[in-house]
Amino acid sequence: MAEYRILKTEGRAKRAEFKTVHGTVQTPLFMNVGTVGAIKGAVSTQDLEEIGCQVELSNTYHLHVRTGDKVIRELGGLHTFMDWHRPILTDSGGFQVFSLAGLRKIKEEGVTFHSHIDGRLIFMGPEESMQIQSNLGSTIAMAFDECPPSKAERAYVKDSIDRTARWLVRCRDEMKRLNGLEGTVNPQQLLFGINQGAIYDDLRIEHAKVIRELDLDGYAVGGLAVGESHEEMYHVLEEVVPYLPKDRPTYLMGVGTPANILESVERGVDFFDCVYPSRNGRHGHVYTKHGKLNLMNARFEKDMRPIEEGCQCPACRRYSRAYIHHLHKAKEMLGLRLCVLHNLYFYNHMMEEIRDALDAGTFAEYKKATLAGFEAGEDA
Amino acid sequence: MAEYRILKTEGRAKRAEFKTVHGTVQTPLFMNVGTVGAIKGAVSTQDLEEIGCQVELSNTYHLHVRTGDKVIRELGGLHTFMDWHRPILTDSGGFQVFSLAGLRKIKEEGVTFHSHIDGRLIFMGPEESMQIQSNLGSTIAMAFDECPPSKAERAYVKDSIDRTARWLVRCRDEMKRLNGLEGTVNPQQLLFGINQGAIYDDLRIEHAKVIRELDLDGYAVGGLAVGESHEEMYHVLEEVVPYLPKDRPTYLMGVGTPANILESVERGVDFFDCVYPSRNGRHGHVYTKHGKLNLMNARFEKDMRPIEEGCQCPACRRYSRAYIHHLHKAKEMLGLRLCVLHNLYFYNHMMEEIRDALDAGTFAEYKKATLAGFEAGEDA
């Protein structure tokens, strides 16, 4: 069991630290997404250290189908493979199975699907997901769940959360068994459960009450940011977070914009992850305290300012908007890399500011001022 | 006029230093190619500093057609634009005009061609090339020349070198005029002439005798590594280098493999440039003291050694062949970047070893041992 210690609260917002076998992290935090064990945009683990990343997130499904978790285990696990020695969280593979992979069949045992790489048939259930994540040796493994669409029918969602709850027991038991085996990469691997229930408050709460009984290392809220409105998402958080254990970290999966994060910290969330900063960076869209800029825009052709004045990221310390605009127009990879580095730094740095504000008891003011800055735009 | 000072010689091989307005460089040296003001493979000027690059090379034609030299001049010149403060050499644009651009017409005045970006008709002659390079403000400008195929007919080559010699006078006069204008980005811009003559020894020598009279800052041997054999190339160097001024740097354009460089240093060459290290790196081909490796090969799947034991490049200091193999298979940009960084480091580091050997008077032994290592391969 990891140690989660709340240092300060402000309303429902929590400032905490979380001690793991790969070091202690400060929450609230943003996990930087490295799908196949590398951040898209030519960003290395050395870069992650330099831009203040605390937890790297890798995708179980992708690593399973390419190179393979058994090979990675043989090579010493994912930490050794990537040369990253801070915490890693791996997802369960479930989300990719339901969104990427072809021709799925969901049964009580698990899911059968086709690899998106070579089409071969793969079976994955709770045990298989735990075995793969154990081979990778991540710090935190995520439970194998079904993530129904947020607009799914109530009856379907009810069946789905019941199955996800049964799967969670199997995940916990299998993780316990794997952690006890000789030669396990990380015998202190942690398990986070995932709350589902789409946008049905009562199903969310019912499911939370069931899964919290399993006394896991942390709990995630899953199945949000998949089509519902921001208001619906905030509402679900308001309803369900009070039913998750306060003495464990709460992880909101796949969220989101800087504004989403501020609103969700206020509602008690500790952990976040999202592909926005890297995906947007690859398209030349960069985050600033005055909102998002599209560096492809012709108005940046002669703009010799950094993306953001005072920013200490590797892009802003040396390069101008004009140069990065030129790189994107010329389709030079360096343009993508600089924007991704800036965006990840922006997210990590904003989390640091959030933690400082919580420490100082000024989160409410910080949130208000930061959202106002985003709204006002650059000409304010 | 820059200051070129020979520190040591061994046979025809020269160990020298070259003082410019952007700092003094140590020769023999390899220039790292950043076509549009960035090295392909997401490599920044900060990276170039870290891997020991002394001179960056940018392409005049590419910068002229995209973003434009006038914009770059307005922004303070290429050094400011890229945030690179060591020497930059710009080519003349000639090579790209003759190889990339469409529908050319060569006249005494210059060349008319279509931009490969938007098809617009562009005229470039000696004066235009100097004006563009003056706008960029590079440390060293290259003369505008025609680069006939190495297998071109003798009569064609004779006409071509005569025209190139006439163009060189115009380049020199225009550069002098531009350097004297108020507001010029780099009023101490240097000019290197280019020797042509395909593989006809007598034409090469005749042309060298004409152009050396212009007393330029340096002289290049152009039109090699474009189809002739290595032996033909070495033969041309043996014949023509003695006719180029010994008290000026000699630059062999677009060359080459590590072995080519060793052979050419022996024949009196100081400056090199080549796209091989970056192009090969992007395909997972990496240089080592035991020859080239293709990291896409399945035999590297579980190879936890660095690309080269003891190498101090950013890839070898942290990452394994297995990890880089995985990145290439998964088409992650980081794989390209790591291989390009390694290859450029390999080239820059080999030049450092060559300089050390020349300083110690042991270049012949160094060359022999290094070539033997390449030949022997990894299992030796």
Tokens describing residue A343: 């965006």
Confidence label for B379 from pLDDT (cuts 50, 70 and 90): low
Percentage of chain B surpassing pLDDT 90?
88
Asked if A326 is an interface residue toward chain B (Cβ–Cβ < 8 A), one would say: yes
Q: Is the pLDDT of residue B10 over 70?
A: yes
Q: Please name the member of B81, B322, B327 whose beta carbon is closest to the beta carbon of A75.
A: B322
CB contact under 8 A, A330 and B46: no
Q: Is the pLDDT of residue A380 over 50?
A: no
Q: Are B236 and B273 in contact (CB under 8 A)?
A: no
Confidence label for A103 from pLDDT (cuts 50, 70 and 90): low
Q: Which residues of B touch A38 (CB under 8 A)?
A: 327, 330, 332, 334-335
Phi, psi (degrees; rounded to nearest 5) at A375: -65, -40
Question: What pLDDT sits at residue B103?
Answer: 57
| Alpha-carbon torsion angle B76, B78, B80, B83, nearest 10 | 170
CB contact under 8 A, A330 and B43: no
A149-163, pLDDT tens digit by residue? Answer: 878 899 999 999 999
Sequence length of chain A is 380
End-to-end CA distance of chain A, in Å?
Answer: 48
B277-284 mean pLDDT:
96
CB contact under 8 A, B333 and A42: yes
Tokens describing residue B259: 């072995």
Q: Is the pLDDT of residue A330 over 80?
A: yes
Q: Specify whether A217 is catalytic.
A: no
Is the bond preceding residue B197 a cis peptide, omega within 30 degrees?
no
Q: Are B315 and B339 in contact (CB under 8 A)?
A: yes
Asked if B117 is an interface residue toward chain A (Cβ–Cβ < 8 A), one would say: no
The answer for A 338-357 residues in CB contact with B (under 8 A) is 338
CA distance A36 to B271: 40
Min Cα separation B313/chain A (Å)? 13
CA distance A30 to A260: 12
Q: Which of B63, B93, B55, B94 is nearest to B81 (CA)?
A: B63
Asked if B330 is an interface residue toward chain A (Cβ–Cβ < 8 A), one would say: yes
**DSSP codes, A115-140:** -TTT--EEEE-HHHHHHHHHHHT-SE
CB contact under 8 A, B301 and A71: yes
Sequence length of chain B is 380
- Give residue limits of the domains in chain B: 3-274, 281-374
Q: Which residues of A touch B44 (CB under 8 A)?
A: 314, 318-319, 334, 337-338
Mean pLDDT score across all residues of chain B: 95
Min Cα separation B224/chain A (Å)? 28
Min Cα separation A38/chain B (Å)? 7
Neighbouring C-beta atoms of residue B116, cutoff 10 Å: 14
Confidence label for B118 from pLDDT (cuts 50, 70 and 90): confident
Q: Which residues contact B280 (CB under 8 A, 6 or more apart)?
A: B286, B287, B292, B339, B343
CA distance B130 to B128: 5
Q: Which residues contact B360 (CB under 8 A, 6 or more apart)?
A: none
**Cα A104–A107–A113 angle (5° rounding)?**
20
Q: Is the pLDDT of residue A358 over 80?
A: yes
Which of A58, A85, A319, A334 to mutate to test binding with chain B, by most B CBs within 10 Å of its CB? A334
CA distance B323 to B335: 8
CB contact under 8 A, A41 and B337: no
Give residue for tokens 């030669």. Answer: A183
CA distance B318 to A349: 25
Q: Which CATH number fits domain A3-274: 3.40.50.300, 3.40.50.1820, 3.20.20.105, 3.50.50.60?
A: 3.20.20.105
Tokens describing residue A131: 């075995």
Q: Which of A304, A328, A302, A332 is nearest to A318 (CA)?
A: A304
Q: Please name the member of A43, A302, A314 whose beta carbon is closest to the beta carbon of B334.
A: A43
Question: What pLDDT sits at residue A101?
Answer: 62
The type of residue at A336 is L
Confidence label for B380 from pLDDT (cuts 50, 70 and 90): very low
B139-161 mean pLDDT:
92
CB contact under 8 A, B83 and A322: no
Q: Is the pLDDT of residue B101 over 70?
A: no
Q: Please name the member of A44, A326, A338 whose beta carbon is closest to the beta carbon of B67.
A: A326
Comparing alpha-carbon positions, the chain B residue that sits nearest to A332 is B40
What's the Cα-to-Cα distance from B320 to each of A16, A77, B329, rounded to whole Å? 35, 13, 14
A74-79 mean pLDDT:
98
Question: What pLDDT sits at residue B1?
Answer: 65
The answer to whether ipTM exceeds 0.90 is yes
The type of residue at B229 is S
Question: What pLDDT sits at residue B335?
Answer: 97
Q: Is the dihedral of CA B123, B125, B131, B135 positive or negative?
A: positive
Question: What pLDDT sits at residue B105?
Answer: 79
B154-184, pLDDT tens digit by residue? Answer: 999 999 999 999 999 999 999 999 999 999 9
Q: Specify whether A145 is catalytic.
A: no
CB contact under 8 A, B40 and A333: yes
Asked if B332 is an interface residue toward chain A (Cβ–Cβ < 8 A), one would say: yes
Phi, psi (degrees; rounded to nearest 5) at B368: -60, -45
CB contact under 8 A, A75 and B302: yes
Is the bond preceding residue A256 a cis peptide, omega within 30 degrees?
yes
Q: Please name the member of B45, B62, B302 whose beta carbon is closest to the beta carbon of A74.
A: B302
Lowest mean pLDDT among A100-114, B25-39, B337-351: A100-114
Confidence (pTM) = 0.96
Tokens describing residue A19: 């001690």
Q: Which of A69, A91, A145, A270 is catalytic?
A: A91
Question: What pLDDT sits at residue B102?
Answer: 61
* Region label for B224, one of left (φ > 0), alpha (ψ between -120 and 50) or beta (otherwise): beta
